């Protein structure tokens, strides 16, 4: 974990992308302190807060969640006195995960793997470095719809809704004075993106909005810092995968078969290229044009299909 100053008073808290759940966060040391996202478990989030304390001894007065996924929000409880800001649909999804107590489910999988079907082992293994004990999903207490302007002691900060792209409640944090964007999971850098709910069109629109600001620095949700080149590369990936998926959809192949046929070229160098399956599967949902953008899905089954794709590639 590294705290990197990207402009005066603006910090990115970076974790090396090692697969699912290794995300980035941020801190703006103005206006009482604004934290952007948390990490996946309490230990990692405590380490992050410790780093922020080296900048400012007082706890951040505000926390923004860029979207609901646990890697970005399951440390919220450690900001208990803060104003926690998110999009309304981010809060809705967090409520659903709180209701089923998703952290406890994952924890039980780690503690008692034998009680889980053996086919789930790769999924549980992928989470093995996180400690899901003690997590109480803590909902945002300040919701907004399209845009929220924050005044950090005269320093402008814009929260802009760009979903549903990666999830229903995606937002970006734009700091116009320094031309910096904390993109949340709208930008994955040198690692394969995952589309959950949302649409291809909205994700492209979100990337185009990021590009329209001509940011100097983009803090991706996952992977190293970048400028506009990283955003363009991701846009290129989506356009490529979408058109390839359409070709194989028209030929009648299922999403896994299509994923096996797609030649990823240089995109195979991105971490976890097998997550291609998520994107192909989501494209197929759009081509069928029957299910809504937030149609229910079984995340574990999708993950296991990615593993099948990996095994297929490894066997070639």
Which residue in 15, 23, 38, 259 binds Zn ion (CB under 5 A)? 23
Least separation, in Å, of the C-beta of 222 and Zn ion? Answer: 6
Least separation, in Å, of the C-beta of 251 and Zn ion? Answer: 33
User: How many residues bind Zn ion, per CB under 5 A?
Assistant: 5
Least separation, in Å, of the C-beta of 221 and Zn ion? Answer: 5
Least separation, in Å, of the C-beta of 137 and Zn ion? Answer: 16
Residue 152 vs 207, nearer CB to Zn ion: 207
> With b meaning 16 or more CB within 10 Å and e meaning fewer, what string describes 220-253?
bbbbbbbebebbebbbebbebbbebbeebbeeeb
Contact segment (CB under 5 A) with Zn ion among 68-76, 79-87, 207-215, 305-313 equals: 68-76
Residue 29 vs 69, nearer CB to Zn ion: 69
> Helix (H, G, I), strand (E, B), or coil: what is residue 226?
strand
Residue 112 neighbours by CB under 8 Å, 6+ apart: none
Residue with tokens 């007065």, as numbered in its chain: 61
Which residue in 185, 197, 244, 272 binds Zn ion (CB under 5 A)? 185
Sheet holding 62-64, edge to edge: 2-7, 10-14, 25-28, 34-36, 62-64, 83-87, 142-144
Residue 221 binds to Zn ion (criterion: CB under 5 A): yes
Q: Are 187 and 158 in contact (CB under 8 A)?
A: no
Which residue in 17, 37, 41, 71 binds Zn ion (CB under 5 A)? 71
User: How many other CB atoms are there within 10 angstroms of residue 174's CB atom?
Assistant: 20
Residue 37 binds to Zn ion (criterion: CB under 5 A): no
Q: Are 65 and 86 in contact (CB under 8 A)?
A: yes
Residue 170 binds to Zn ion (criterion: CB under 5 A): no
Contacting positions for Zn ion (CB under 5 A)? 23, 69, 71, 185, 221
């Amino acid at each position: 974990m590294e705290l990197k100053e990207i402009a005066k008073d603006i910090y990115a808290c970076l974790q090396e992308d090692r697969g699912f759940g290794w995300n980035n966060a941020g801190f703006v040391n103005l206006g009482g302190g604004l934290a952007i996202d948390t990490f996946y478990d309490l230990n990692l989030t405590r380490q992050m807060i410790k780093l922020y304390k080296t900048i400012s001894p007082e706890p951040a007065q505000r926390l923004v969640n860029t979207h609901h996924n646990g890697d970005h929000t399951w440390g919220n409880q450690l900001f208990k006195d803060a104003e926690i800001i998110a999009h309304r649909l981010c809060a809705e999804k967090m409520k659903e995960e709180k209701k089923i107590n998703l952290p406890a489910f994952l924890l039980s999988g780690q503690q008692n793997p034998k009680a889980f079907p053996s086919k789930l082992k790769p999924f549980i293994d992928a989470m093995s470095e996180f400690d899901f004990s003690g997590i109480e999903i803590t909902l945002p207490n300040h919701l907004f719809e399209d845009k929220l302007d924050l005044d950090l002691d005269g320093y402008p900060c814009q929260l802009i809704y760009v979903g549903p792209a990666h999830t229903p409640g995606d937002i970006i944090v734009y700091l116009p004075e320094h031309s910096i964007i904390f993109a949340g999971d709208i930008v994955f850098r040198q690692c394969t993106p995952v589309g959950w709910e949302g649409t291809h069109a909205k994700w492209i629109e979100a990337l185009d909005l990021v590009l329209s600001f001509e940011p100097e620095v983009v803090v991706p949700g996952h992977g190293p810092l970048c400028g506009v080149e990283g955003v363009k590369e991701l846009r290129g990936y989506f356009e490529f995968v979408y058109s390839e998926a359409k070709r194989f959809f028209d030929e009648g192949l299922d999403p896994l078969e299509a994923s096996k046929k797609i030649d990823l070229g240089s995109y195979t160098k991105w971490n976890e290229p097998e997550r291609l399956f998520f994107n192909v599967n989501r494209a197929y949902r759009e081509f069928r044009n029957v299910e809504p953008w937030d149609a229910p899905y079984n995340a574990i089954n999708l993950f296991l299909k990615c593993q099948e794709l990996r095994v297929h590639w490894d066997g070639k």
